[in-house]
Structure 1
Amino acid sequence: MAPEQEPKGYRWDIITAEELKYAPPYFQDVPETTTEVECKLSGTWPKWLHGSFLRVGVGRFTVPTSEDDSTPRVIIQHLFDGLALLHKFRMTDGRVYYMSRYTSNGITRAAQRDGYVKNSWVGPNPNTPLFEAQDPCSKLLGARQTVFLPHDSIEPDALNVHVQPRRGMHLPEDKNPNSRGVKAEDPATQEILVHTDWNCMQICDAKTLEPKRLLSHAVIDPELAGTGCCAHPVHDRKRGTTYNYLIDAAGIMYIFALDVVANPARLLWKSALPCKPCYTHALAMTDKYVVFVRNPVILDLSDPSKTLVEAMVCEHDSPVYFYVLDKADGKVIASYQVPNFYFFHTANAYDYVDPKTGHTNVHVDIASYKAEHYPYHEYAISNVINPLKPYQTGRLVRYELSAVNTRDPGVVVRGTVKAAIPDMMAELPRISKAASMDPNYRFVYGVSGNGISAPGTDVPIGRLGNGVDMPHASFYGHLFKSDWRTGTFKAWVPQNGESCPTEPIFIQRPGATEEDDGIVITITINKEGTNSILVGLDGRTFEEVARADMPQVYALGPHGSFVEGDFGVVSRMGREGE
């Protein structure tokens, strides 16, 4: 079978403002809450829970193209393209405080000036109705470009960066005249670093959430110039390093290591990979190794008029390659392949000594999709509102790479499937921080039940059904807690018509001796779709113990992080000399 570009079985048409009215409130433009408010609580939030829960999502799906709104608004066409809204829940002494802020207002300002929206589009180009209605010589020809690469002097909110928020790190001196605020004395407590699938990072103030700076990894080191990057660079807390990949201008794919404890952060090593460029959303690592899993999706950015999904060519006949690199120097030490699958996220990885052979094996746990799936089209808004078929289902699979310490890296050997959690759809897998890279870890938390109905909800997504004549109210119907030791799982299903539970974040209780001794936090949407609720689940029983009402409906978004301690208490947004 040849590489496939055209979506099959998904709606991939441009929806109008009128059609968007069929979408639930959380697919409309939602407000921001820029002043911190205390949430109304029920149940008991543990007093040991002290820190900030950061989430980034999409909150705006319409963009004005004039200051007086006299021209048609651009309608965002893909869930991944909605404009970013950054959320922060501050938790202390059994109380919960909430605030949020849009971090991509520069896109709106530019659209009001230019008459179209300039961004990098994953899904259908939302400017299409505008330039199709215009004279071919009009300025809207610029709206045909769908891949926007940031330049050195870009404003801090002029790009849509909305995948993974983390605590900040020391960065080189900022020479961009359009940046805002001042350099943080302690970025780990004063700044938020937001990653995306581009070679671009956004710095936001941890107290106010206001964007301060946009930069690429090339600012850290010129050797890191390139385009594609991993939205989930893996972070080794013990060594103070992170690992990521990039694709350079010549189309060569590299893995690189950063010392993020240094002031400023610095490049440790950069190693070329022996494979064609691809789109890979997440890396994996063990205590000794970085594992790059080559997603069989070519990323061809040669035509700037193609959207990112159109530039992704799925290789349905290609194996999936695993490249194992030594953390010490970045050298590739072993290469493996397994039968074709696709993935967004890894759950964990670890190395261990096989007691039978005495060699070092590596296990990589991944939420993987079957080869026949084309997992990047179904999040188009047209398909969300009226899907042609049920959503894809992934499985949590453990891949084994045997005897990595004995291999010739130039010889690709066969990897194997060591284990799986059967009968459970799995996505957005998360674990305890303490369980990272631990060969004895057991528990994975994630979302499940993709596309199922949410009984009792007043706002089903599908107008006509999802291919099985059943309207649904969420991408994900419930959460799971799986156990590698037993191969079983528990489910938590929202009650009372609530829907759309988000990626669960596990926070371990200080001093805990059991891996699942802690709390799991997620966000659900109420029956009416008008506001969201932060929900806390006991990590062991997986039952609800507390909730906090948000003042607004949460904009749907995939990822979050919990930062322990007094995060964002001190702001450094003031300009130099003020």
Structure 2
Amino acid sequence: MTDSTPYNTYFVTEEDLQYVPPYMKNTGETPQETKCPIKGSWPKWLAGEFVRVGGSKYVVPLSEDGSKPAAVLQHFFDGLGSLHKFRFADGQVHYTSRSNTDGVVRNAKRDGIVRTHMFGPNANTPLRDAQDPCSTLLGESQSLYMPPGHQEPDVLNIQVMPRRGMHLPKDENPLSRGTAASKPDEEEIIVHTDYNYLQVCDSKSLEPKRLLTYADIDPQLSGFGICAHPPKDRKRGLTFNYLISEEGKLSVFALSYTSKPASLVWKTVLPCQPCYVHSLAITDKYVIFIRNPIHMDVSDMGKPVMDMLEFEPESKTLFFVLDKENGKHVRTFAAPNFMFFHSVNGYDYVCPKTGRTNIHVDLCSYDCDYCPYREYTLSNTLDPARPFQEGTLVRYELAGVDGEGSSKDHTGRATIAQAFRDFPMELPRINKAYTTVPSYRYVYATGGNGGPSPGTLVPVGRLGKNLKCVQGAFFSRIAKADWQTGKTQVWQPEDGESCPCEPVFIARPGAVEEDDGIVLTIVVNREGTQSILIALDGRSMNEVARAMMPQVYGLGPHGSFIEQKSMYP
């Protein structure tokens, strides 16, 4: 690699994993529920379960007897997934964790290669380069591996977003485990990812039960694409997502998650080229599909997925506005080139000056020339080629969605109404009761990707030769942004604790103020031997309580709080 290379992608060996932070290598599991030692006061009103995904294995054995060298997964997104559950009751915290990808390891020992979807460099490549006899089994499409036919529920690495379960069609797969839940919203968790597979897990034991695709819900939903964050309209009982058909047509669809089973409500083909999108946005009346200027180049199936994602520097970023009720394509707007991964919130309102409906879409925007996810390889974590790219919290305005002269065939201009330009933010979350509410104020997010973490003994960048790129932790702070004042509040771990993950806000029952509640995040201790669940006051951002986990939490992107029905009467 040269100094001008923006990120490193060389293979990290098992030996060099000793320099990788503990939250990005193999971690244990705690299958039997354990009561966590606590400090501070966990609120008695907190009743429910906080479920997070995480990466539990980066080293995968390729034989039963250890006769072959292990494969090392090379990207943050490729650590084999696990589920972590915190149960809250009467001011106490109980913890459980379990791998949801044991089948990947089981098959790797049998086949001598890793067979699962890989975002980063193909972990099997060193085998091929070394002329291993198993190299004949290595298809060039291994990084996009999708198994045909019936599958066991744990043979794919699905580990982006866990959510409450819903009623699904009858399971015809003889390899599934357990029985269908009579109350899936209480008894099952569905794990989402950025391709057309869903994994159903038992909410109590966390055991994987079933793999299915959206096509199992409705045959019209075959294809690929799919965002891991289908926005949820709780009032209408709908979620919204996109897919790309085998013919290359991109569609947005609405799914009823309250029907028994879940069912397709509408599907709308959009007039744009296929692209990669991680999340959609909604307002009270509309669904907004934002076409990222990123497409997947599949001309060389031997490349990692991260290198197949080709940035389009000359393309504008397009906003397609659809009516929630029927899927009708209402308007299209365009903005100067940017890319994003996570939308934050959206709302529609009547402009007092024009009397027409405007839309605000809030998201974490990147102004860059390549996909930032390419930087999240293990080699670039150990040896950053340059500081990580960071997102900016931006509010885009789509003016005049309705009224005279508005037409889906006329592309309007998307403008920037507001931005937090001086503070990087990513993995944004809000008080979910304020979804699509125009008066909402607060966004909680991670801040400072790769930023300093004073006192930690487990820094990233240990092998870096450029000291300006040697940082303290993969994530460094938690930030709270206030749209009304334009100010931010910051919480940073102390005493050498580091790497707070995505913050999740939980509102206090009966709260009147939007930020009256707690914010959950997880940090690793100074030595990297144990992780800690932290509760912050949603208003002051001061720590109010903590729970000591019996293990290290393998860092994952997202989590969900699933409240008991009695919590919000």
TM-score higher than 0.5 here?
A: yes
- Letter paired with 1:448: G
Give, in angstroms, the shift of residue 300 of structure 1. 3.1
Q: 1:466 to 1:292 in 2, by over 3 A?
A: farther
Match of 2:93 in 1: 96
CA distance in 2 between partners of 1:419 and 1:137 (Å): 54
Match of 1:3 in 2: none
Q: 1:291 to 1:138 in 2, by over 3 A?
A: closer
CA distance in 1 between partners of 2:54 and 2:25 (Å): 13
Q: More deviation in 486-495 or 408-417?
A: 408-417
Match of 2:488 in 1: 489
Checking the alignment, whether the CA contact within 8 Å between 1:145 and 1:306 is kept in structure 2 is no
Q: More deviation in 127-136 or 423-432?
A: 127-136
SS at match of 1:447: strand
Cα shift readout 1:16-67 (whole Å, capped 9, x = no counterpart) = 1112221122222100000000000000000000010010011110000001
Match of 1:571 in 2: none
Cα shift readout 1:104-130 (whole Å, capped 9, x = no counterpart) = 111111111111001111111110110
Cα shift readout 1:62-94 (whole Å, capped 9, x = no counterpart) = 000001122100000100011001010001110
In the alignment, structure 1 residue 344 sits paired with structure 2 residue 325: no
Aligned with residue 29 of structure 2, among 27, 32, 51: 32
Aligned with residue 225 of structure 2, among 200, 224, 228: 228
Write the mapping of 1:61-76 to structure 2, written as runs, cut at 5 A: 61-76=58-73
In the alignment, structure 1 residue 177 sits paired with structure 2 residue 171: no
Checking the alignment, whether the CA contact within 8 Å between 2:533 and 2:546 is kept in structure 1 is yes
Match of 1:477 in 2: 476
Write the mapping of 1:105-254 to structure 2, written as runs, cut at 5 A: 105-134=102-131, 138-142=135-139, 145-254=142-251
Give, in angstroms, the shift of residue 566 of structure 1. 6.7
Checking the alignment, whether the CA contact within 8 Å between 1:85 and 1:100 is kept in structure 2 is yes
Q: 1:298 to 1:28 in 2, by over 3 A?
A: same
Checking the alignment, whether the CA contact within 8 Å between 1:117 and 1:143 is kept in structure 2 is no
Give, in angstroms, the shift of residue 465 of structure 1. 3.6
SS at match of 1:378: helix
CA distance in 2 between partners of 1:143 and 1:199 (Å): 20
Match of 2:522 in 1: 523
Match of 1:377 in 2: 374
SS at match of 2:460: coil
In the alignment, structure 1 residue 451 sits paired with structure 2 residue 450: yes
Checking the alignment, whether the CA contact within 8 Å between 1:520 and 1:539 is kept in structure 2 is yes
SS at match of 1:198: coil
Match of 2:424 in 1: 425
Q: 1:497 to 1:397 in 2, by over 3 A?
A: same
Give, in angstroms, the shift of residue 463 of structure 1. 1.7
Checking the alignment, whether the CA contact within 8 Å between 2:506 and 2:517 is kept in structure 1 is yes
Cα shift readout 1:335-375 (whole Å, capped 9, x = no counterpart) = 00101111110110000111111111000001011133531
Q: More deviation in 475-484 or 463-472?
A: 463-472
Q: More deviation in 390-399 or 403-412?
A: 403-412
CA distance in 1 between partners of 2:250 and 2:524 (Å): 40
Q: 1:190 to 1:302 in 2, by over 3 A?
A: farther
CA distance in 2 between partners of 1:485 and 1:73 (Å): 52
SS at match of 1:20: helix
Match of 2:254 in 1: 257
TM-score, normalised on structure 1?
A: 0.95
Give, in angstroms, the shift of residue 405 of structure 1. 1.1
Q: 1:42 to 1:135 in 2, by over 3 A?
A: closer
TM-score, normalised on structure 2?
A: 0.96
SS at match of 1:113: helix
Match of 1:513 in 2: 512
In the alignment, structure 1 residue 84 sits paired with structure 2 residue 91: no
In the alignment, structure 1 residue 330 sits paired with structure 2 residue 327: yes
Match of 1:535 in 2: 534
SS at match of 2:105: helix
Cα shift readout 1:194-237 (whole Å, capped 9, x = no counterpart) = 00000110000000000000000000000000011000000111
Match of 1:9 in 2: 6
Checking the alignment, whether the CA contact within 8 Å between 2:166 and 2:262 is kept in structure 1 is yes
Checking the alignment, whether the CA contact within 8 Å between 1:131 and 1:143 is kept in structure 2 is no
Give, in angstroms, the shift of residue 491 of structure 1. 0.3
Give, in angstroms, the shift of residue 411 of structure 1. 1.7
Checking the alignment, whether the CA contact within 8 Å between 1:465 and 1:471 is kept in structure 2 is yes
SS at match of 1:267: strand
In the alignment, structure 1 residue 309 sits paired with structure 2 residue 306: yes
SS at match of 2:374: coil
Checking the alignment, whether the CA contact within 8 Å between 2:39 and 2:545 is kept in structure 1 is yes
Give, in angstroms, the shift of residue 238 of structure 1. 0.6
SS at match of 2:402: helix
Q: 1:144 to 1:71 in 2, by over 3 A?
A: farther
Q: More deviation in 307-316 or 141-150?
A: 141-150
- Letter paired with 2:474: F
Aligned with residue 51 of structure 1, among 48, 54, 57: 48
Checking the alignment, whether the CA contact within 8 Å between 1:354 and 1:361 is kept in structure 2 is yes
Q: Give unpaired runs (5+ residues) of structure 2.
A: none
Q: RMSD over aligned Cα, in angstroms?
A: 1.5
Checking the alignment, whether the CA contact within 8 Å between 1:390 and 1:467 is kept in structure 2 is no
- Letter paired with 1:209: L
Checking the alignment, whether the CA contact within 8 Å between 1:465 and 1:472 is kept in structure 2 is no
CA distance in 1 between partners of 2:191 and 2:481 (Å): 28
Q: More deviation in 202-211 or 365-374?
A: 365-374
SS at match of 1:334: strand
Give, in angstroms, the shift of residue 302 of structure 1. 5.3
CA distance in 1 between partners of 2:467 and 2:232 (Å): 42
Give, in angstroms, the shift of residue 315 of structure 1. 0.4
Match of 1:366 in 2: 363
CA distance in 1 between partners of 2:374 and 2:542 (Å): 34
Checking the alignment, whether the CA contact within 8 Å between 1:347 and 1:430 is kept in structure 2 is yes
Checking the alignment, whether the CA contact within 8 Å between 2:87 and 2:95 is kept in structure 1 is yes
CA distance in 2 between partners of 1:529 and 1:566 (Å): 36
Cα shift readout 1:120-153 (whole Å, capped 9, x = no counterpart) = 1111111011011126885333376221124340
Checking the alignment, whether the CA contact within 8 Å between 2:508 and 2:517 is kept in structure 1 is yes
In the alignment, structure 1 residue 391 sits paired with structure 2 residue 407: no
Write the mapping of 1:405-424 to structure 2, written as runs, cut at 5 A: 405-406=402-403, 407-424=406-423
Q: More deviation in 114-123 or 202-211?
A: 114-123
Q: More deviation in 306-315 or 207-216?
A: 306-315
Match of 1:554 in 2: 553
Cα shift readout 1:477-521 (whole Å, capped 9, x = no counterpart) = 100001000000100010000000010000001111110000011
SS at match of 1:142: coil
Checking the alignment, whether the CA contact within 8 Å between 1:42 and 1:547 is kept in structure 2 is yes
Give, in angstroms, the shift of residue 444 of structure 1. 0.2
CA distance in 2 between partners of 1:229 and 1:345 (Å): 14
Q: 1:546 to 1:241 in 2, by over 3 A?
A: same
Give, in angstroms, the shift of residue 257 of structure 1. 0.5
Give, in angstroms, the shift of residue 8 of structure 1. 3.9
CA distance in 2 between partners of 1:469 and 1:562 (Å): 37
SS at match of 2:515: coil
Give, in angstroms, the shift of residue 101 of structure 1. 0.3
In the alignment, structure 1 residue 403 sits paired with structure 2 residue 388: no
Checking the alignment, whether the CA contact within 8 Å between 1:128 and 1:144 is kept in structure 2 is no
Q: 1:98 to 1:135 in 2, by over 3 A?
A: closer
CA distance in 2 between partners of 1:369 and 1:223 (Å): 33
Checking the alignment, whether the CA contact within 8 Å between 1:116 and 1:143 is kept in structure 2 is no
